[in-house]
Amino acid sequence: MATPVKQFVRQSYRLISSNSPTVPLQGDDEKLAIRVLNQLLSSYASSGLLLTVAKTIQFALPAGQQEVTFGPTTTLPLPDVTEGRLAYITNAWLISEQVRYPLTPVQKTRFDNSYIYEPLSGVPLYSVYEQGTEISTVRLYPSGSKAYDFYLRGKFQTAVLTANDEIEAFPDYYELFLLLATARTVAPFKGRMGAWTQDLEDRYKEAKADMESVSDINLDIMGEDEVMLNGANRVRAGI
């Protein structure tokens, strides 16, 4: 069930306030909590670890197009995929004539330091992710010599919430963590740091650990592997 943002804010304040539930919020209490909530969601999008579950998108990739952009509908020029700024990629692949072509992720710095050839056309083998403040870009190498259906599973930054919105983009189990995180951050701004007890801190840490545990982000440290942008893999790509 979707929770109205106004109701969410009141519930969050009750964690650090002894006021009766019938006492209305005062001054800019509501605006402050909503601003903090949006700031938290924005900060979680820096790594994607504390965002909600990933989702899969599809984009019809024309022949020769090498970059796919991701951003909100409010950004100009309009990005290719308007799900919001891409915060993290779980995996990406192409499909053509019912054949699936997985894309190997490569860090941008490694890509820039590795390939020395012009971006010719072939079967795309690699995806290079580049974050932006509003728009993120996934570059394919090499560019496709024909059209493909491009699929990507990842986490996207949520839209800015207002008082009249509902928290419907998040699963129910995520709301408890957001309630604790918002109250924890608001407390010092309201002179209520003393109300944030060790018990609440323990609950917050437990909820945060739960959110990290359900995240499908791979935290393994990757060493040297077979990702070579030249040589044999160029032959496989047909370039």
Q: Indicate whether 165 and 153 sit together in one domain.
A: no
Count helices and strands in the chain by DSSP H and E runs: 6, 12
Q: Is residue 232 part of a domain?
A: no
Q: What is the per-residue pLDDT for 38?
A: 95
Q: Which tokens belong to 200?
A: 């609440």
- Residue 37 domain-assigned? yes
Question: 110 and 91, same structural domain?
Answer: yes
Per DSSP (E only), the strands in 97-141 are 99-102, 104-106, 121-122, 126-130, 136-141
Question: If we measure between CA atoms, which residue out of 168, 160, 171, 194 comes closest to residue 7?
Answer: 168
pTM of the model: 0.79
Domain that residue 150 falls in: 55-157
- Domain ends where: 157, 183, 202? 157
Q: Write out pLDDT tens, residues 88-138.
A: 998 999 999 999 999 999 888 888 777 655 666 889 999 999 988 889 999
Q: Count CA within 13 A, CB hemisphere, residue 159.
A: 13
- Are residues 197 and 132 part of one domain? no
Lookup: tokens for 25: 């919020």
Q: What DSSP string describes 169-190?
A: SS-HHHHHHHHHHHHHHHGGGG
Same domain? 44 vs 136: no
pLDDT at residue number 224: 47
Q: Tell me: the pLDDT tens digits for 9-27?
A: 999 998 988 664 545 567 7
